[in-house]
């Protein structure tokens, strides 16, 4: 656990670099439909998310605008850049997952003898894009 805000900032930077790299690896696995690697990436993402939250809690985010040290300014700029890169990579991975889900849904429709993308109604009377729908959560 980092002991100073500078240590926490450096830890956060290193973790974000690793997280960004992991998101790129996950995207490659999604494209290859490599379930083992996807699962390993999901597990590692959970671990990294916790570590990132811990490191971020030790950072003084308010001080980043008052920093005069060039190294600190550079670190904060890199952190902001990495956060944007991670957000973009995560959205790209989410789109890849959704694309795969749509493909699986269309394939299930074909197997069931339905026209892929046929407008059907679910148990709640809502029109869906196909007969495949993700399970809905019931309100209690």
Q: Is residue 139 part of a domain?
A: no
Reading the chain (140 residues) residue by residue, the pLDDT tens digits are 667 888 999 999 999 999 999 999 999 999 999 999 999 999 999 999 999 999 999 988 887 778 788 888 999 999 999 999 999 999 999 999 999 888 888 888 888 888 766 656 666 766 655 444 444 444 44
As a whole number of angstroms, the distance between CA 54 and CA 76 comes to: 17
The answer to whether residue 115 is domain-embedded is yes
In a domain, 15, yes or no: yes
Q: How far is CA 87 from the centre of its chain?
A: 7
Q: What tokens appear for 122 in the block?
A: 């679910």
CA distance 59 to 11: 10
Residue 113 lies in a domain: yes
In a domain, 11, yes or no: yes
pTM: 0.75
137 within domain boundaries: no
**Chain position carrying tokens 């450096």:** 10
Is residue 50 a contact partner of residue 41, using CB atoms and an 8 Å limit? no
Alpha carbon dihedral 24, 7, 57, 71, in 10-degree steps, equals -70
Residue 98 belongs to a domain with what CATH number? 1.20.58.300
Flag whether 134 is in a domain: no
Q: Whose CA is closest to 80, among 96, 93, 64? A: 64
Domain span holding position 98: 5-128
Which tokens hold the place of 125? 């009377």
In a domain, 71, yes or no: yes
The structural domain count of the chain equals: 1
């Amino acid at each position: 656990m980092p002991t100073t805000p500078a240590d926490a900032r450096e830890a956060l930077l290193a973790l974000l670099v690793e997280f960004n790299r992991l998101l790129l690896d996950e995207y490659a696995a999604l494209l290859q439909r490599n379930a083992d690697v996807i699962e390993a990436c999901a597990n590692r993402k959970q671990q990294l998310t916790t570590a990132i939250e811990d490191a971020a809690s030790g950072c003084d985010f308010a001080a980043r605008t008052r920093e005069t040290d060039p190294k600190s300014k550079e670190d904060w700029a890199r952190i902001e850049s990495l956060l944007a890169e991670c957000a973009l990579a995560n959205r790209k991975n989410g789109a890849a997952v959704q694309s795969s889900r749509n493909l699986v849904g269309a394939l299930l429709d074909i197997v069931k003898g339905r026209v892929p993308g046929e407008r059907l109604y679910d148990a709640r009377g809502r029109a869906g894009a196909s007969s495949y729908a993700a399970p809905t959560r019931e309100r209690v």
